[in-house]
Structure 1
Amino acid sequence: MIKTQERTELILQIIDRLDFATYKQIMKIMDLGCYRNVTRVIKQITEYLNETYIHSYEIKGKVFYLNTSGRKLIGSTNEVKQNQQIVHTLLRNEVFIQYGCPEDWANEVKLEYEVENTNQIIGLIGSNSIQQNKYIIPDAVFRQNNVLQLVEIDHTRHMVDNQKKLSRYAEAIPQLKKKLNHTPILKIYTTTEDRKKKWKDMCEKKALISEVYTFSEIK
């Protein structure tokens, strides 16, 4: 009985951390072996779960998230509701699992940095150099071999918007390097080989240290 309760709470804690989770994601993290095992385990804890169904090119099937009873059981205040970001969240989970569920993984962290803004002022004052505070928010961050990894999930965003965000990375990364004493690595996950090539070309033009993958490359 204790083992069953412990397993129930562990699964709920995993789903709570992921926000949304598929059968496959729970199976991988819990090392449940096969689809039959994970469906049996989830069936035993449905009283603590909400479920929905996703049918996209990358993700298909049932998706689970905690209901009020599930949150109360594990003491979570993370209330999750269905929204248009479910597939984006699930794809980010795939990357999280791909890297072995890093303990220091954090979603959507605001990374602050400063840039020097030089304004030429005519008159006796001459030129003024002003430090401007800025920030960038990756989809996730974690450390690998003590190097900060910046994760971007490109699912439905227009390439024009991707170009704008990459320009912000090109501004932010040199400043983050000064604070960290190393250069963060940008890891980009996208949907197609064509978009992968465009990302690689953009990163090369910006001279950014980066790795670009398609979601189909995740094992």
Structure 2
Amino acid sequence: MMTMLATISKEQRRENILLSLKKLGFLSRSQLQKLHRLGGTRNANRILKDLSDYLNVVRLNENIYYLNAEGRQRVGANKVLKKTNQIIHHLMRNSVYISYGCPITWKNEMKLIVKDEITIIADAIFNVANTYHIIEVDHLQKMSVNKEKIRKYKRLIDLGVFEKPPKLIWVTSTHYRKKQLIELSEGLQVIVYLHDDFK
């Protein structure tokens, strides 16, 4: 009986890891450790090696995992991911997801359209107590693009699109860019993190 329970638990953990990759795209070994309580590095590596039939792996500072064709088929994922410079973008966004306690209402790549006047794609959005939290990742992006996004968010607030003013959460890579984003976001509820804050 005990062996059967252990097997079910192991199988459920495997399924949960694959479902996390379906939802979040790319996850580092350390992110998977946090999300699924995989214990130490050695144990996490063993568990992820057991899933190698379903995973692609790329090495950055640590192993980064994403679903291969078999993994996508097993969990019904349609989106095919490839090794690109977007990996770090995903990891930065996923750091926010994990640090905010994996919000149930979290949605990636949300398109906001208002009367054909404004279209903006947020990197992610989640809602807590009727307050939207909008996540934006600043990685390899021109500051002029960030400036335009912030202008659009201010316009959405002016148009009364949100019941309560949203919280804008940025993740960036340098102190200089953090300072620029804070200045550009004046008048908004904003938090700017460095990616290193989550390590």
TM over 0.5: yes
Q: Is the 8 A contact 2:130 2:163 kept in 1?
A: no
What is aligned with 1:189?
Answer: 171
Q: Is the 8 A contact 1:110 1:135 kept in 2?
A: yes
Q: Which structure has the larger Rg?
A: 1
- Counterpart pick for 2:127 among 130, 143, 146: 143
Q: Is the 8 A contact 2:132 2:166 kept in 1?
A: yes
| Count of matched residue pairs | 193
Give the CA deviation at 1:29. 0.3
Instruction: Report Cα offsets for 1:71-112 as digits up to 9, x if no partner.
Output: 222232232222221110111111111111111111111112
SS in 1 for 2:170: strand
- Counterpart pick for 2:117 among 133, 150, 157: 133
- Counterpart pick for 1:14 among 20, 28, 33: 20
Stretches of 4+ aligned residues off by more than 4 angstroms: none
In 2, the alpha carbon distance for the partners of 1:22 and 1:11 equals 12
Q: Is the 8 A contact 1:136 1:172 kept in 2?
A: no
Q: Is the 8 A contact 2:156 2:162 kept in 1?
A: no
Give the CA deviation at 1:26. 0.5
What is aligned with 1:41?
Answer: 47
Instruction: Report Cα offsets for 1:127-167 as digits up to 9, x if no partner.
Output: xxxxx532211111001333101111111112222222222
Letter in 1 for 2:34: K
Letter in 2 for 1:159: M
Q: How does 1:49-88 map to 2 (within 5 A)?
A: 49-54=55-60, 60-88=61-89
Q: Is the 8 A contact 1:15 1:21 kept in 2?
A: yes
Instruction: Report Cα offsets for 1:158-212 as digits up to 9, x if no partner.
Output: 222222222222212222xx243211111111111111111111112xx222112
Letter in 2 for 1:160: S
In 2, the alpha carbon distance for the partners of 1:76 and 1:45 equals 16
Q: Is the 8 A contact 1:107 1:141 kept in 2?
A: yes
Same amino acid, percent of matched pairs: 35
- Structure with greater helix percent: 2
Give the CA deviation at 1:31. 1.3
Instruction: Give me the CA root mean square deviation.
Output: 1.6
